[in-house]
Chain A
Amino acid sequence: METLVNFFLFWKTVGLDRIVRFFWYFFFLELTRYVLFDFAVITWYLLQKRRNREKYFQARQKLYAESPKVSVIAPGKNEGENLYKLARSLNEQTYRNLEIIIIDDGSDDQTPLIAQSLLKAGLIDRFLRNEVRGGKASAANLGLRFATGKFIVHVDADSSLDRDAIERILIPFYLDPCVGAVGGNVKVRNWRTNVITALQAIEYLKTISVARLVSSMLGIYRVVPGAYGAFRRDLLDQVGGWDIGPGLDGDITIKIRKAHCKIVFEPTSVCYTRVPESLRALTRQRLRWYRSLVRFRIRKHRDIFLPHANFRWSNWISFAENLFYNVVLDITWLVYIVDILAHFPTLIGYILPMNYFLYLFSNVFQFFAVLILSERRHEEWKLSVYLPLIVPYIGLYLRFVRTIAYLQEIFFRSSYKDLWNPRKTSAQAKAHGL
C-alpha cells in the first residue's frame, strides 16, 4: 500500500518535460501510431462508410447481376477433421455461385477419405491431391490450375467463414475496378481454449482488424492473409500464382502490388481460423512468419526500394512502414531500455511499472476501437479480461521472438531449414536465392 502511495506521489511531483523524457518511446512511437493515428483513420473510415452506403449497395447489385463463378481453394495437409466445418460454412454462403476445391498436399492420414466422402456428398466440387507433398504454394497452384472461377478465394483448410463472408469480400472488386486482391478479416476460432489462444485473439483483432484497416485506408496494406483472401483470377495467372513460402501470402501481395493493382482490406468479411494452442507451437509459427519478412522484403523484393521503371511511392511506403515498425522499432526499443538503464538506474522501479500502465491504457483504447468496428461486440467483449496480459505478450514475448527471428534469418537464413516446406523445395529456393 505504501509503495503504491509512493508511486503516485512520485509521479505527481514529476513535470511534463521529465515525463516525456522518461517515456519518449511510448509517446513518440506507440501513442502517435497506434492510438491517435488509428482513431483518426477509424473515424474517417466510419464516415466514409456512411457516405458510401449507396455506392456499396450498387456494387452489391452489380456483383449479383453478374454473379461470376468464384472458386474457393483450400490447400492443406492432414486437415481432414477440419474440412467438414469448412465445407459446411461454404455451403451456407449467401453468394451461391461457388466452386469449392480442396487440395490435399500429401496427407498421410484419413484426409483423402474424408475429402472423398465430402465430394460424394456434394459438399465440395473438387478434390485434388498431391500424392507427394510439395509445399503449400504448390498445393495452392494446383488448385489454381483447376479453378474455373473469375475470382479465387484462398482459405486455409483449418478455417471457416461467416455466411456472408464471400459476398462481402467480393464487393470491393465491384466498388473499384483497380482492386486486384482483397484481404479478409481473420479472427480466432479457438480463443476459448486457453490464455495463449485468447491473447492471440486480441492480437488478431488489433492487428488484423484495426491495423489492416488503417493501412488499407492509407493504401499501404501489406498482406492479404493466407488464411483468407480473394484475388482476381487473371492477375494470379499473370503473376504465375504463388511462389514458394514461407510467407507466401505476403509474397503474392507484393507481386500483385508490383502489377499496379490495389489491395484492400475488408473488415466485414469474417473468417475464423485455428491458432496454435501451446507456447511452443506459437513460437515456431511466429519464428517462421518473422523470418519470412526478412527473406521476402529485404531479400527477394528489395527492388521495391530501388528507383526503377516499376517504382511506386505507395509500394515504397508500404515496405518502409512495415520495416520501420518491425525492424527499426525493435532496435529503437532496445535503445530506449539502454537509455533508461544508463541515465535513470535508480528510477527503474517507477519507470517500468508506469510504462506498463501506459501500454495497458493504449491497449484498452485500441480494444475499444476494435469493439466499435466489430460485428460481434458482445462476444468479443469477453476477451477484455485478458487485456492486462496483452502488454507482456506483445511488448515482451512477441518482440523477443521477432528479434530472434530477424537475427536468425539475417545471419543464418534459417527459413530454408524450416520443415514447413519439403527439403527438396527449400534446397532449390536457396540455390536460386529466392
Chain B
Amino acid sequence: MKVFYLTPQRTPEGTYPQFIEPVEIPDPDRLPIEALRPADVWVLDLTHPAWATSVLRNLRTFTDPEVYLRPLFGFPKDADFPDFWATLLDGSTDLGALPALTAQAEKIMDRIRRLEPLQEEHFEIQVLIRLLRYLYTRDQRLQPIRDPSRSTGYTYPFLVLHFQPTDEHRIFDIVDLGEREGLLQGRFVDRFHLCPDCYSAFLNFRETCPACSSADLKREDLVHHFVCAHVAPESDFLQGDELICPKCHRQLRHIGVDYDRPSVLYTCRTCGHEFQNPMVRARCFQCGAQHLVENLIEKVAKEYDITSKGRNAALSGFTLTLGSLFHIEGVVDYATFKTFLRHEIERVRRSQRPSTLAYFEFTNFEELYLSIGDRRTRVFEEIARVIRENIRGSDVLSYLNERTLLFLYPETPVEGAQVALQRITQFIHQLVRDNFQNFQPLLKTNAIPIDPQGTVESHLEQLFKT
C-alpha cells in the first residue's frame, strides 16, 4: 500500500518509515493533485494547524470523488487539532501504527471505485450526494458539531465546507432534503434558534417589556394582605424594614399566616409599563436585530444515518423523484398541487365543466433504474419526452414520491385523460420491450372525475383506492 505524507516542508531524509513517501505542499491552495493520486492513503501533517485545515478543506471539497473521498489520516496522534476539522479525518495515527489502518483504507477505496458518475446538476443535490457518498464510503453517522466559530452554532463539518460563510445555514436545508427523500434517517439531538435576518445562532435571550421591548426591567413581588384583601407591589408596603399595609395600616408579620406573595410584577424602567408576563425577546449578536422568540427560526440538530435508499443514491449518484428527474417544465411540488386541486374543485362547482385527476405509478422503477446501466440517460429522456407530449400547458403535474406522478387535467373529461395516460403506458411498455428483454415494467394508472362536492383529501383517497 502506498502512503503519501502531506507536509508543508520536508524534513531530512530518514525520519519516515520506509513505506511512507513525503510530499511537500508549501501552498495549501495549490494542491499538486496529480502528484498525489498514485497513493492509496494520505497522511496529513497536523503540526501546522492553519496549513492543515486549508489542505483538508481543499481536499474534501474537491470535485473528483477519488480525491474528496480518499482515506486521510492525521499525524501525530496526539496533535492539538480542532474538533471541527478532526471529524473530517479518518482518524489520527502514529506513523508506525499506519499498517493497522490498511483494512479501513482498503474498504473506503473499494467503495469509491463502485460509485457511478454524478448525474445531478443542481447544486444542493450535488452536495447532498457528496455527503451520502462520504457517509457511505465510511459507514459513518453524520453528527452535528457545536462550534462557536460558526454563525449557526451547530454545524455539519463536511457539509459546511461547501458554503460561503453567509450561506452556512443552508446545510440544514440539505439534510432536511435528504431526510424528506428518505435518504437519511434523523435522530433528535438538540433544538436551537437562528436569527431570521442573518441566520446567526448567537442570540441573547432576555425578558423584555411587552409595550416597548426594553430589557431594563424591575422585578418585584406582589403582596396580598389576607385580612383586608389588599394586593399591591411590595414597595407599597415597605416602610423602612417593616411591611405595613397601606389599606388597613396593620403590620404584616408572618408569611403564609397574615400575608403572602402570590405573584410577581415587572415594571419597565424605560416606559413605565407594569405587567406580569414579560416577553422573551432575543437580540442577535451578529446583526443587532431583536425578535420575539416565536419569530426566530427554530431548527433541530439531528444526527443522521444513511438509509438503504441513501446508499443506493450514493452509489448511483441519483436521488430525486420521477418529476424532477425528467426535467419536465411546470412540475409543482405536492403541497402546491393540492392547492391547485382545491381551486379546481371550486371551479368545477361553479362552472359545472368536468375536470379529471389522475396518477401514474411506475412501481418497479428503481429496479429498472439499477439494471439498465449506461443506457439509462437515453431511456429516461424518451420517457420524459412522451410525458411532455401528452400534457398541455394548462395541465398540472406533480410527484407524490419517486415513482408516482400526479396529473390534474382541467376541463378534460375522464375519457380524455385516460387516452393520454394510455399513450404513456403503451409507450413505456414498448420502449422497455425493445430494450430490455428481461424486464417487465409494472405500471399503474387511474383517472377520476373531479367531484364538485368532494374535498382535496377525499379525491386523493378515491384516486388511490381503485
Out of B226, B247, B263, B276, name the residue touching A424 (CB < 8 Å). B226
Contact A240 B228 (CB under 8 A): yes
Contact B229 A138 (CB under 8 A): yes
Q: How far is the CA of A434 from the CA of B230 in the complex (A)?
A: 14
Interface membership of B231, Cβ < 8 A: yes
Which one, B55-63, B142-150, B254-262, B376-384, is touching chain A?
B254-262
Closest-CB distance, A74 to chain B (whole angstroms): 16
Q: Chain A residues near B257: list those with CB within 8 A.
A: 424, 427-428
Q: Given that A129-B263, A134-B224, A424-B257 are contacting pairs, would A142 and B248 also be in contact in the complex, using a CB cutoff of 8 Å? A: no
Contact B277 A142 (CB under 8 A): no
13 other A-B residue contacts (CB within 8 Å) besides A129-B263, A428-B257: A116-B277, A126-B275, A130-B262, A132-B260, A139-B231, A141-B229, A142-B222, A142-B231, A240-B248, A242-B229, A248-B229, A429-B227, A434-B227
Interface membership of B274, Cβ < 8 A: yes
Interface membership of B232, Cβ < 8 A: yes
Q: How far is the CA of A128 from the CA of B258 in the complex (A)?
A: 22
Q: How far is the CA of A427 from the CA of B254 in the complex (A)?
A: 13
Contact B228 A244 (CB under 8 A): yes
Q: Chain A residues near B263: list those with CB within 8 A.
A: 128-132
Interface membership of A243, Cβ < 8 A: yes
Contact B229 A137 (CB under 8 A): yes
Q: Chain B residues near A425: list those with CB within 8 A.
A: 226-227, 229
Q: Chain B residues near A243: list those with CB within 8 A.
A: 228-229
Q: How far is the CA of A79 from the CA of B315 in the complex (A)?
A: 62
Interface membership of A53, Cβ < 8 A: no
Out of B231, B248, B274, B277, name the residue touching A138 (CB < 8 Å). B231
Q: Chain B residues near A133: list those with CB within 8 A.
A: 262
Contact B229 A432 (CB under 8 A): no
Q: Given that A127-B277, A128-B276 are contacting pairs, would A428 and B227 also be in contact in the complex, using a CB cutoff of 8 Å? A: yes
Q: Chain A residues near B277: list those with CB within 8 A.
A: 116, 127
| 13 CB-based A-B contacts, threshold 8 Å | A130-B222, A131-B262, A134-B224, A134-B229, A134-B231, A138-B262, A141-B231, A240-B230, A241-B229, A424-B257, A425-B229, A427-B257, A434-B227
Contact with A along B209-231 (1 / 0, CB 8 A): 00000000000001010111111
Q: Chain A residues near B222: list those with CB within 8 A.
A: 130, 142
Q: Chain B residues near A106: list those with CB within 8 A.
A: 262
Within 8 A of B (CB), among A140-174: 140-142, 145-146
Q: How far is the CA of A137 from the CA of B231 in the complex (A)?
A: 9
Contact B247 A138 (CB under 8 A): no
Within 8 A of B (CB), among A95-136: 106, 116, 126-135
Q: Given that A129-B263, A240-B247, A424-B260 are contacting pairs, would A146 and B274 also be in contact in the complex, using a CB cutoff of 8 Å? A: yes
Q: Chain B residues near A141: list those with CB within 8 A.
A: 229-231
Instruction: Give A131's nearest chain B residue, CB to CB.
Output: B263
Q: Chain B residues near A130: list those with CB within 8 A.
A: 222, 224, 231, 262-263
Instruction: Give A133's nearest chain B residue, CB to CB.
Output: B262
Q: Chain B residues near A139: list those with CB within 8 A.
A: 231
Interface residue tally on A, bucketed by range: 20 to 34
Out of A131, A135, A146, A431, name the residue touching B229 (CB < 8 Å). A135
Q: Chain A residues near B231: list those with CB within 8 A.
A: 130, 134, 138-139, 141-142, 145
Q: How far is the CA of A139 from the CA of B230 in the complex (A)?
A: 9
Q: Chain A residues near B229: list those with CB within 8 A.
A: 134-135, 137-138, 140-141, 241-244, 248, 425
Q: How far is the CA of A240 from the CA of B222 in the complex (A)?
A: 16
Within 8 A of B (CB), among A190-244: 240-244
Within 8 A of B (CB), among A391-434: 424-425, 427-429, 431-432, 434
The 5 A-B pairs at the shortest CB distance, nearest first, are namely: A137-B229, A130-B262, A240-B247, A428-B226, A425-B226
Contact with A along B346-381 (1 / 0, CB 8 A): 000000000000000000000000000000000000
Closest-CB distance, B231 to chain A (whole angstroms): 4
Q: Chain B residues near A129: list those with CB within 8 A.
A: 263, 276
Contact B224 A138 (CB under 8 A): yes
Within 8 A of A (CB), among B408-465: none
Contact A244 B226 (CB under 8 A): yes
Contact A145 B232 (CB under 8 A): yes
Closest-CB distance, A185 to chain B (whole angstroms): 27
Closest-CB distance, A254 to chain B (whole angstroms): 15
Contact A432 B227 (CB under 8 A): yes
Closest-CB distance, A280 to chain B (whole angstroms): 28
Output the residue of B222, B227, B257 with the most chain A CB within 10 A: B227
Within 8 A of A (CB), among B183-242: 222, 224, 226-232
Instruction: Give B233's nearest chain A residue, CB to CB.
Output: A145
Q: Chain B residues near A131: list those with CB within 8 A.
A: 262-263
Q: Given that A129-B276, A424-B257 are contacting pairs, would A244 and B262 also be in contact in the complex, using a CB cutoff of 8 Å? A: no
Q: How far is the CA of A137 from the CA of B232 in the complex (A)?
A: 13
Q: How far is the CA of A133 from the CA of B224 in the complex (A)?
A: 10
Q: Chain A residues near B247: list those with CB within 8 A.
A: 240-241
Q: Chain A residues near B224: list those with CB within 8 A.
A: 130, 132, 134, 138
Q: How far is the CA of A116 from the CA of B276 in the complex (A)?
A: 11
Q: How far is the CA of A244 from the CA of B248 in the complex (A)?
A: 12
Q: How far is the CA of A434 from the CA of B227 in the complex (A)?
A: 8
Q: Chain B residues near A137: list those with CB within 8 A.
A: 229
Instruction: Give A430's nearest chain B residue, CB to CB.
Output: B227
Q: How far is the CA of A106 from the CA of B261 in the complex (A)?
A: 12
Q: Chain B residues near A424: list those with CB within 8 A.
A: 226, 256-257, 260
Closest-CB distance, A405 to chain B (whole angstroms): 22
Within 8 A of A (CB), among B265-295: 274-277
Within 8 A of B (CB), among A321-380: none
Q: How far is the CA of A64 from the CA of B285 in the complex (A)?
A: 50
Closest-CB distance, B208 to chain A (whole angstroms): 16
Q: How far is the CA of A126 from the CA of B275 in the complex (A)?
A: 8
Q: How far is the CA of A372 from the CA of B386 in the complex (A)?
A: 82
Instruction: Give A140's nearest chain B residue, CB to CB.
Output: B229
Closest-CB distance, A120 to chain B (whole angstroms): 10
Instruction: Give A237's nearest chain B residue, CB to CB.
Output: B247
Q: Chain A residues near B227: list those with CB within 8 A.
A: 244, 425, 428-429, 431-432, 434
Q: Chain A residues near B276: list those with CB within 8 A.
A: 127-129
